């Protein structure tokens, strides 16, 4: 039996976690964009590309390019030099992002970390928690949250 085949089976199982990470990373940016656009619309009535760029801390040109992809993906609509709107699917993704974000951030606070850490860490963690873990966090939160 060839050397490389020897451990193929065990490896196949283990690689599932890394596949998940790669897939999470693909949706991650889209989720943060739509959630941020939803926040801007709610807070200020409209979302401009510049505001998105400022809140994300990236260049304007980067946002323009990313929004084009999100438009192709059916998440946002926009016309040149105008504000950005979310499609139905975009709002759905934004709401789901907010839900996860709220649970993760509240959970971290209930666990005893500072507000700033909860805010920062939850921005990354939210994209890598399964529904099962979210349920466990919500359960903990119901018992120990404020």
* Residue closer to DNA, measured from CB, 19 or 142: 19
> Tokens representing 48?
């401009």
Q: Are strands 76-78 and 84-86 parallel, antiparallel or unpaired?
A: antiparallel
Asked if 60 touches DNA (CB under 7 A), the answer is yes
Asked if 45 touches its own copies (CB under 8 A), the answer is no
Residue with tokens 């994300």: 56
Q: Which residue's Cβ lies closest to Mn ion?
A: 101
Asked if 90 touches Mn ion (CB under 5 A), the answer is no
Q: What are the φ/ψ torsions at residue 113 (nearest 5 degrees)?
A: -90, 165
Q: Are 99 and 38 in contact (CB under 8 A)?
A: no
**Region from 63-71, 73-81, 90-98, 129-137 binding its own copies, contact rule CB under 8 A:** 129-137
C-alpha torsion sign, points 111, 113, 118, 122: negative
**Region from 42-50, 80-88, 94-102, 113-121 binding Mn ion, contact rule CB under 5 A:** 94-102
> Tokens representing 4?
């490389």
Residue of 49, 90, 97, 106 that binds Mn ion (CB under 5 A): 97
Q: Which residues bind DNA (CB under 7 A)?
A: 2-5, 22, 25-26, 28-29, 48-50, 56-66, 69, 78, 80-82
């Amino acid at each position: 039996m060839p050397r490389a085949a020897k451990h193929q089976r065990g490896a196949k199982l283990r690689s599932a976690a890394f596949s998940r990470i790669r897939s999470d990373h693909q949706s991650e940016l889209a989720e943060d964009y739509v959630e941020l656009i939803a926040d801007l619309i709610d807070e200020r009535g409209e979302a401009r590309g510049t505001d998105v760029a400022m809140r994300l801390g990236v260049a304007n040109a980067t946002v323009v390019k990313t929004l084009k992809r999100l438009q192709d993906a059916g998440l946002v609509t926009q016309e040149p030099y105008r504000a950005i709107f979310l499609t139905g699917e975009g709002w759905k993704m934004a709401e789901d992002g907010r839900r996860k974000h709220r649970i993760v951030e509240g959970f971290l606070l209930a666990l005893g970390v500072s507000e700033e850490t909860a805010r920062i860490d939850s921005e990354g963690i939210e994209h890598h928690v399964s529904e099962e873990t979210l349920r466990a966090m919500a359960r903990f939160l119901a018992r120990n949250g404020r």
